[in-house]
Structure 1
Amino acid sequence: MFMNKFLLLLTLSSILIACSPAPEGKKDGDAVKGVTLSSNKLGPQNFNDGWLFTEGDDENFALASFDDTKWTTLRLPHDWSVSHPFEEKWDGATAYLPGGMGWYRKTFSTPTTEKETLTFINFDGIYNHSTVYINGQKIGGEVNGYTPFTLDLSEHLKPEGEENVLAVRVDRSRYIDSRWYPGSGIYRNVTLYQKPKLHIPVWGTYITTPEITQDNGRVNIAITIKNTLSSQQSSLYRTRIYDAAGNKILVDGGTVTVNAGEEFIVEQKLDVKSPELWDTESPYLYSAETELIQNGQVVDRIKTPLGFRTIEYKPDTGFYLNGKHTLIKGVNIHHDAGLVGAAVPEDVWRRRLLTLKASGVNAIRMAHNPASRELMALCDELGLLVQAEIFDEWDYPKDKRLNQQERHDDYISRGYADWFQTHAHKDLKAAVLRDRNHPSLIMWSIGNEIEWTYPRYAAATGYFEMEANGNYFFNPPYITPEEIKHRFDTSEEGEYVLAKTAKKLSEWVKALDTTRPVIANMILPSVSHISGYTDALDIVGYSYRRVIYDYGRKLFPEKMIMGTENVVQWHEWKAVIEREFVAGTFLWTGIDYMGEAHGGWPRKGVASGMLDLAGFKKPSFHMFKSLWNSEPHVYLTTQDIEKSVYTLDNTGKVVEKEEGSWAQRVWYWHDVERHWNYTEGLNTVVEAYSNCDELELFVNGESYGKQNLADHADRIFKWSVPYAAGEIRATGACGASDIIETTEAPTDFVVTADKTLLSLDEKSVSHLEIQLTDKQGKPVTHTESDIRWQVPEGLDLMGVDNGWVNNVQAFQSTSVTTHEGRALAIIRGLKAGTYKVQMTQEDGATKHVSIEVKGD
């Protein structure tokens, strides 16, 4: 149990114990100067290029002699499912896209290396049930599609200069094994490492900053050194600290001796003077470069991110970053990104995260499994706090077609729960070891809405009886805590006990990282608090249960509470800011995501986000920008009053059809439009989302009156306006304003490219955004048009989309129909050169964008 005041500074509280009785190294800073590099390629090597792929399955695909000349050549990461058309015969849980079987092969020459060199390959994620072969011999693989793993190729490589064949079989035949779209294939980066037999393993450093003052930042570095030789080995080790500009500011080293066949953990304690702090506004990043040196040569090198920041959690007052009270303004995101599926280029994540950050988002919950290494690094760079989640399933499965209703037990829907008993420990360990050095990471989540799957929990709540109508979303518990506990304690336990599993998982995390709290996302917290589940946690996350924040605080005051899934509505944030003890929230979701579309054809995803599937801003984005930013902001929307959630009272004032319904809106924003094109005289409602204290609406220059924000409990300004062509404009005394104009039919379009200079790698892409316009150049959002792309050889049209979850046009197409006048294409470079991309509207308007691709 932790103290009520749970203070977490980045500290190494456990004692690091060597794995062998070798003597500790001594400081020897002078001895590590003036050395030269060995001929080994030090550090990670990109291994994404030159792969071949085919769908299907044949045991001969693993053989080095197999003729793969007809396979598709590609650059990883790769998701084969997203290249298929959407078809109703598949399942909405996984976005009406198929799974299947796939094979990857890569031929490469054995590197020229020094003697006693090892070659490792690291896969950051393969979805899923992968098997890896080298020259026809099976060497490993992973069941879990989110688990990063490293394999030793050394013993299986042919002599230097000769060719090897690496083959990867991916079994995604369980095509409904997820509750959302997971993708298929080697959908994350692959990296090659060459290391000496005395080396620092991949993820072999652990950096903490236990003491941070204005004058000094203490850096503790735990370096794991592994000796795979048959004799005891000695080496020099050295760590350099670099500032954000790449300037070396500190160097420290020593000597170490490691017994044959064993590991040793050596500790360094360094002091950085006047450290710059990492925070959400100024995410200052240092780096630590650690080297091993033998016979005057640098034989191994590993770089580790370093950020100075403190995190503190108080049950009474919430979260503190660097000693400053900080509300967590978070969103959940899944690991797909619309038209690129699960194989997401870094530039796609960058565009999406920067857009979210512009709304005031300062935190990301990686729902519901470990994110990619690149996404974690981007959060470091951009200043986004991270809750890293590890599991969505534990001992018992969730129904992939419809959570909470365990009706299916067929092969195609079997998921990770079938392997949890045997794989959970190593999968959790891999996730923590890979990510524990990221300064952005502030908490570990061990599970998401686990309670549904265990016996006793749902029945003990009292919500799911006839008289309660199952309404746990907005109602406090119907029965007392004593009755809940009695029901729970007197019911049958089952084969697995949730509280015991939670305790085990929490202990596994803390064995590897003591610097961050453990949390879980609880869907039935009224039971979880009394069942022993929360005893395993440092922080308690509530999933859609803001109605019992006060209940939890009163009955269980020793635990800090926060929202870990809440709908993108004002009432959720209102509940946070009215309670000092709630640390913040993670809204569901920051971005629309594919899958979880139960019986929803042609709906392929969930439209709960602040951004749509193409990354375009939605009305809810602007509401939260007005809530989470101090910069003045106004955004207008409109609607036919008959189609709206409003009516007029007997004074002509706009009121809700159901009084107070704003406080119980859930997954989706109410239906509004971003245009001013209606039938003349039609009664409309004009809404404005703003943080201005006062707004005035003008229709064709005529004032429709001023309104005060304080008069709107739902924080939405509303005017009743008979439609007249022209313009509407809202102006605030704060200096912000917004305008919507009547437009004609679309005759043209504008195209905006976020990048016109690309690199030849898996990170770099250009987003080409299309906006329809009329003959006056005004944006048209009320009617649609088809856009065709012509992309020359040398570029790759990764896909096209309009962002609408109900659009089931194939992503892998050269044309798309706009939605709200918008469309998106994502382009990457395949060959160095300068190219022209042509876009043509169905009525004949044509535009060109010049894209330059730089060579290596």
Structure 2
Amino acid sequence: MNSRHLIILMALSGAININAQRTVQTLKNGWEFCRGDSFNESVSQKVTVPHDWAIYGPFDRKHDLQVVAVEQNGEAEATEKTGRTGGLPFIGKGIYRTVFEVPDTTSRTITLVFDGVMSNADVTLNGKKVISWPYGYNSFYAVVDGIAVPGENYLEVACENKDGQSRWYPGAGIYRNVHVVNTDKIHIPTWGTFVTTPVVTKEYASISLTMDIEGTYNRQNIRVETVILNPQGKEVAKASNVFCARGQEFTQNFLVNDPDLWSPRNPELYTAKTTLSVDGKDVDEYETRFGIRSLAYVPEKGFFLNGEPIKFKGVCNHHDLGPLGAAVNKSALRHQLDLLKDMGVNAIRTSHNMPAPELVELCDEMGLMMMVEPFDDWGFRPKSPNGYGAVFNEWADKDVSNMVRHYRNNPSVVMWSIGNEVPSQWGEPGINELMRLRNTVRQLDPTRPITCGMDQVGEGAVIDNGFAAALDIPGFNYKPQLYDKFYEKLPNRLILGSETASTVSSRGQYFFPIEFKDHNVVLHEGNQSNSYDNESCSWSNTPDLDFARDDDHDWCIGQFVWTGFDYLGEPSPYDTDAWPSHSSVFGIIDLASLPKDRYYLYRSKWNDESPTLHILPHWNWKGREDEITPVFVYTSYPKAELFINGKSQGMREKNDSTVYNRYRLMWMDTRYEPGEVRVVAYDNDGHAVAEKTIKTAGKPHHLVAIPNRTSLTANGEDLSYITIQVADKDGNIIPTDNRRVKFKVSGAGTFEATANGDPTSLLPFQNPEMDLFSGAATAIVRSSNSEGTLIFTASAPGVKPVTTTIEVK
């Protein structure tokens, strides 16, 4: 096997670097992969890791077909669930093989670090089994001293996904990065430091750095020197001490004057660079990235960051990257976070799984707070036959320990969650499980509060049985109408919306007449949901009620919307024998990374740095002439006047007549006539401050291609998302055009994937063609390893093609 392609990167968030004493090899290229129980070289494939074998499809109704009653949705009878895990072939076994080189093992420790393998991983090195890890979302590692040899080392990773393992699309294979860490025998181990900031003021901050040191001998003296570097790389504090090894932890303390405090607006990052020396010789160097910030959860008053009150304007996200599947890509993650930050999001909940290290690293850098969560199934009354409940009793402490140790240095992480909607919310076994998890987290990190997403609030459940009171922060899913009751009964005196809204909508799909349907499932022809943002599932509500609770009470500390992005699987409300529905419509942004109208409703409320003015629906309704076609405006301005073909439809002002009028401007009786819709927005003093216009488009004329980035890095991994639409001869976008478009990429890059956001589309993501949905689709292109120009062309019958270029450098 010719697999000696090693990329050396700084790849582990928060705590690892590369220097003369320590190297990290990230094993990306040179892998061979085979489906099945045994490795067959004649049918194996050469793949790059991260790799998701199932995303290539094909979609099929038969994949993981489940007959189940979803207790969390209030179902009492089992029904046939189609598309529940995305309709993709993720079930089965696979084997990966590669070779890596170790220069020397004398006086060295070799550690294999896996950011995530989906799932039931068995790792073998040089024919010897070194570790097994069942949970696919967690990072794990194995020290392979005595097994690793100088020269070539043969690594094999077998994994298996089982029937009934998941409630959404989990991905398959080695879908996150793999690293080989080479250190001296005396070293700081993986995730071996813990930084806290006990005192934080604007004038100074105290810093405590606790570390494990391994490979020592009894009574051996080790010189430990740590310098603290500020965000500009300047040394601002230093400590040098002798550690007498007796198996204990070692702690150093520092004072930093005039600290740059980490916050969403100013995500300033410090580095603690620790060097271990023995007899005057440096043997290890370890970098711990951290932020200086204070957290305070004040009963009745809310959440304070660095002494300033702040609400969580958060979203929940599954781990898949839409058409890229579960295979992690930092550029794709950054693209998601860029879209969310523009919407005004300041927090992410990793629901319901440990995140990729790259996501946490980006949240540190971009200023997004995080609720990190491990799983949504405990051992008592598990939700799925082969879900996490099947391994909870044996593995929960190990998994939670890895999660906390991995991410407790990251300043973005401000809260731990220990579960979500677990059936264990009822009865004594659940309280025992809660206390077990709570104690594990607190032992490893006493600085952050613990929450859990709860949905069972009936008699004898979490409010009455002590479950909610045992949490630092009670998190509730879809219960804003009951917050006052919870607040009065619970001792915590704080309420968090751990999951909110679950509004359902399909991008650019509008259904008439318009009725607001909180807690009432509405089904439409074609298995789509209304983009007027007026529909939700039986357990949930539209965004407006959650906005009001946050606005009206300090003790409501904010929310995490379900979800930021559509994801593969869980196609509620079209999950019961409703194939080909295979992806969710909960997202504020669709599977193709295209914002829905709802994006602008949240933006108008959450983005306080840039104004919002958005009109819906589109104005292309052939056959609806003179029929009532309501117009909504989502805006950060307090009032606006609407004009149709120059005729005023009246002024609307945000008011408290209904919770919907408080956040939306709505003209419910307007009638469609082709032409122009114009809205003029006014400030509180009555001054016209902004306007926007949409027009009825003419005949299709040409394609339009808009890349989110026109310059990429020549690293073979950077991505650009290109939006494809059809326009008339005057450039007006045609939002109803659904023709098929073909893509071609040449030059310094390749075609990666495509999607259109239609939850019923069965076209493969990897083929360079896609039907437009509601007038748009996305093509994703990848940079090459060489500098040059990437040339992208889109073509379709009946319209002029479009070519755009992207510089790769």
- Superposition TM-score tier, normalisation by shorter sequence: 0.7 to 0.9
Give the corresponding residue for 1:556.
490
Deviations along 1:166-212, one digit per CA (max 9) or x if unpaired, are 1100111x143111111001111112211111110010010000111
Instruction: Find out whether 1:510 has 2:437 as its counterpart.
Output: no
Q: How does 1:267-306 map to 2 (within 5 A)?
A: 267-306=251-290
Instruction: Find out whether 1:438 has 2:430 as its counterpart.
Output: no
Instruction: Find out whether 1:54 has 2:41 as its counterpart.
Output: no
Give the corresponding residue for 1:746.
700
SS in 2 for 1:583: strand
Instruction: Find out whether 1:575 has 2:549 as its counterpart.
Output: yes
Task: Report the Cα offset of residue 607 of structure 1.
Answer: 0.7
Give the corresponding residue for 1:164.
153
1:106 and 1:551, CA in 2 relative to 1: closer, same or farther beyond 3 A? Answer: same
Instruction: Find out whether 1:83 has 2:72 as its counterpart.
Output: no
Are the counterparts in 1 of residues 592 and 756 from structure 2 also a CA contact under 8 Å? yes
Are the counterparts in 1 of residues 364 and 411 from structure 2 also a CA contact under 8 Å? yes
1:758 and 1:228, CA in 2 relative to 1: closer, same or farther beyond 3 A? Answer: farther
Q: Which runs of 5+ in 1 are unaligned?
A: 1-36, 62-66, 401-412, 458-492, 639-672
Are the counterparts in 2 of residues 43 and 302 from structure 1 also a CA contact under 8 Å? no
Q: How does 1:604-643 map to 2 (within 5 A)?
A: 604-630=582-608, 631-638=610-617
For residue 106 of structure 1, the aligned residue among 98, 102, 105 is: 98
Instruction: Find out whether 1:545 has 2:519 as its counterpart.
Output: no
Give the corresponding residue for 1:465.
none
Give the corresponding residue for 2:309.
325
Give the corresponding residue for 2:567.
593
Q: How does 1:845-856 map to 2 (within 5 A)?
A: 845-854=800-809
Deviations along 1:85-134, one digit per CA (max 9) or x if unpaired, are 2111113221001122111111122x224730111110011110010111
Give distance in 2, aligned partners of 1:595 and 1:150.
30
Give the corresponding residue for 1:684.
629
For residue 244 of structure 2, the aligned residue among 248, 254, 257 is: 257
For residue 215 of structure 1, the aligned residue among 203, 209, 212 is: 203
Are the counterparts in 2 of residues 794 and 829 from structure 1 also a CA contact under 8 Å? yes
Task: Report the Cα offset of residue 833 of structure 1.
Answer: 4.4
Query: Is 675-684 or 698-707 further displaced after alignment?
Result: 675-684
Are the counterparts in 2 of residues 39 and 114 from structure 1 also a CA contact under 8 Å? no
Deviations along 1:548-599, one digit per CA (max 9) or x if unpaired, are 1111111224442211111151112112222222111111111111111333
SS in 1 for 2:634: strand
Q: Which structure carries more relative contact order (alpha carbon 8 Å, separation 6+)?
A: 1
Task: Report the Cα offset of residue 428 of structure 1.
Answer: 0.6
Give the corresponding residue for 1:841.
796
Are the counterparts in 2 of residues 677 and 743 from structure 1 also a CA contact under 8 Å? no
For residue 581 of structure 2, the aligned residue among 603, 609, 615 is: 603
Are the counterparts in 2 of residues 288 and 305 from structure 1 also a CA contact under 8 Å? yes
Instruction: Find out whether 1:133 has 2:124 as its counterpart.
Output: yes
Q: How does 1:678-757 map to 2 (within 5 A)?
A: 679-710=624-655, 713=658, 714-715=660-661, 716-719=664-667, 720-734=669-683, 735-757=689-711
Count of aligned positions: 717
SS in 1 for 2:731: coil
1:70 and 1:108, CA in 2 relative to 1: closer, same or farther beyond 3 A? Answer: farther
Give the corresponding residue for 1:12.
none
Q: How does 1:798-817 map to 2 (within 5 A)?
A: 798-817=752-771
SS in 1 for 2:380: coil
Are the counterparts in 2 of residues 385 and 441 from structure 1 also a CA contact under 8 Å? yes
Are the counterparts in 1 of residues 383 and 389 from structure 2 also a CA contact under 8 Å? no
Are the counterparts in 1 of residues 469 and 491 from structure 2 also a CA contact under 8 Å? no
The residue type paired with residue 728 of structure 1 is V
Deviations along 1:213-266, one digit per CA (max 9) or x if unpaired, are 12211110001101266x65332222222222223333322222325xxx3311
Give the corresponding residue for 1:233.
220
Give distance in 1, aligned partners of 2:280 and 2:18.
9
Are the counterparts in 2 of residues 93 and 176 from structure 1 also a CA contact under 8 Å? no
Are the counterparts in 2 of residues 612 and 803 from structure 1 also a CA contact under 8 Å? yes
SS in 2 for 1:238: strand
1:38 and 1:361, CA in 2 relative to 1: closer, same or farther beyond 3 A? Answer: closer
For residue 293 of structure 2, the aligned residue among 305, 309, 312 is: 309
Are the counterparts in 2 of residues 39 and 113 from structure 1 also a CA contact under 8 Å? no
Task: Report the Cα offset of residue 797 of structure 1.
Answer: 2.5
Task: Report the Cα offset of residue 448 of structure 1.
Answer: 0.3
Task: Report the Cα offset of residue 359 of structure 1.
Answer: 1.6
Give the corresponding residue for 1:204.
192
Are the counterparts in 1 of residues 710 and 805 from structure 2 also a CA contact under 8 Å? yes
Task: Report the Cα offset of residue 794 of structure 1.
Answer: 6.5
Are the counterparts in 2 of residues 40 and 195 from structure 1 also a CA contact under 8 Å? no
CA RMSD of aligned residues (A): 2.2
For residue 529 of structure 1, the aligned residue among 463, 476, 481 is: 463
How does the TM-score come out when normalised to structure 2? 0.85
Give the corresponding residue for 1:121.
112
Give the corresponding residue for 1:423.
395
Are the counterparts in 1 of residues 328 and 356 from structure 2 also a CA contact under 8 Å? no
Instruction: Find out whether 1:345 has 2:324 as its counterpart.
Output: no
Task: Report the Cα offset of residue 542 of structure 1.
Answer: 0.9
Are the counterparts in 2 of residues 753 and 767 from structure 1 also a CA contact under 8 Å? yes
Give distance in 1, aligned partners of 2:631 and 2:379.
51
1:609 and 1:788, CA in 2 relative to 1: closer, same or farther beyond 3 A? Answer: same
Instruction: Find out whether 1:244 has 2:235 as its counterpart.
Output: no
Give distance in 1, aligned partners of 2:441 and 2:657.
46
Give distance in 1, aligned partners of 2:638 and 2:807.
47
The residue type paired with residue 325 of structure 1 is P
SS in 1 for 2:50: coil
Are the counterparts in 2 of residues 632 and 736 from structure 1 also a CA contact under 8 Å? no
Are the counterparts in 2 of residues 226 and 264 from structure 1 also a CA contact under 8 Å? no
Give distance in 1, aligned partners of 2:767 and 2:319.
22
Q: How does 1:439-478 map to 2 (within 5 A)?
A: 439-450=411-422, 452-453=423-424, 457=426
SS in 2 for 1:375: helix
Task: Report the Cα offset of residue 320 of structure 1.
Answer: 0.9
The residue type paired with residue 354 of structure 1 is D
Give distance in 1, aligned partners of 2:671 and 2:119.
56
Task: Report the Cα offset of residue 718 of structure 1.
Answer: 2.5
1:675 and 1:121, CA in 2 relative to 1: closer, same or farther beyond 3 A? Answer: farther
Give distance in 2, aligned partners of 1:41 and 1:315.
48
The residue type paired with residue 165 of structure 1 is Y
1:755 and 1:717, CA in 2 relative to 1: closer, same or farther beyond 3 A? Answer: closer
Query: Is 674-683 or 686-695 further displaced after alignment?
Result: 674-683
SS in 2 for 1:379: helix
Are the counterparts in 1 of residues 86 and 569 from structure 2 also a CA contact under 8 Å? yes
Give distance in 2, aligned partners of 1:376 and 1:106.
28
Are the counterparts in 2 of residues 633 and 737 from structure 1 also a CA contact under 8 Å? no
